[in-house]
Amino acid sequence: MRLIKTAYSGTKYHKKSALFFCVLFSLLLLLLMTVMQLIHIQQINSRIVREQWALFKDKGPAFISQIYATVQASSSVLVTSYRIVLIGCLILSALSFFLFSYLTARRRKSDIQSLRYMNVPKYGIAISFLMELFISVMTSFILVAVVLFLFKADIVRSIYQLDQHLLEKQVAVELVNHPDLTDRQTSDTPNNDDSEKDRRLIIPFSDTALAINYGYDMPLFQLFQIFLRSFLILVGLFLIVSSLGFYSVISRCYQVFYY
């Protein structure tokens, strides 16, 4: 309890720093949650395509295997791309946490020396600084949770539409390698092999499983599962990396003190 009171007092004293970290953590949390939700939605879409493949058979029986392979290849490429972006988000978060903790500790060298004179061990100082930031983390958690609760439908719909747009773009890229999966429009379209306007998918997305509004009806508890998973990952990363940032400066201050 004493540690919590001390951390709360430190947070009140360093309001600007605490507010900045709260905003930083919130943005990183939203970014990580968005990428994880994109992966989730794309995996669901891929499963829907497999389960409802009968819908595609009526669209063009002669191209069933090619179309299925193209759609699944596009989905696989997107999931892989999302995972690469996810790794990038984690690296960005780790760098942000380390730089913030390192610079914060450097600005508070006088506090470190004062605590050292009070015989507070190095790990005790690091824990004290972490507790101050953890208050900002919990504040961020509450704020983002409230935003998700109030704007759940709009947020999920926007992410779902982004995923659908990227999927359609990726399918279009895959079709470049499969010209037999496109047909030519002869009416009101120039007959030019280099024209991109006269190429269209045999399977219209609006009539297939790819356009099922799964994201619009995502249950609130499922959205919060993704949110909690993102939060726990980010908190774990924060505790590990920020500890390293704080401890590197604290150890250096102790070495100077002994010298």
Greater confidence (188 vs 234) lies with 234
Residue pLDDT, tens place only, 115-156: 777 777 778 778 888 888 888 999 999 999 999 989 888 888
Count of helices and strands (H, E) across the chain: 8, 2
Q: Which DSSP category does 14 fall into?
A: T
Element (H, E) at 29: helix 15-51
Q: Contact 97/242 with Cβ under 8 angstroms? A: yes
CA dist., res. 134 & res. 140, Å (int) = 10
| pTM exceeding 0.75 | yes
The closest alpha carbon to 21, from 98, 91, 90, belongs to 98
- Beta-carbon contacts of 195 under 8 Å, excluding residues fewer than 6 positions away, are 189
pLDDT-derived band at 54, boundaries 50, 70, 90: low
**CA atoms within 13 A of residue 180's CA, in its CB half-sphere:** 8
60 residue type, one letter: G
Per-residue model confidence (pLDDT) at position 181:
53
The closest alpha carbon to 131, from 8, 1, 259, belongs to 8
Residue pLDDT, tens place only, 151-210: 888 888 888 888 888 887 877 776 666 555 554 333 333 444 444 433 333 344 444 444
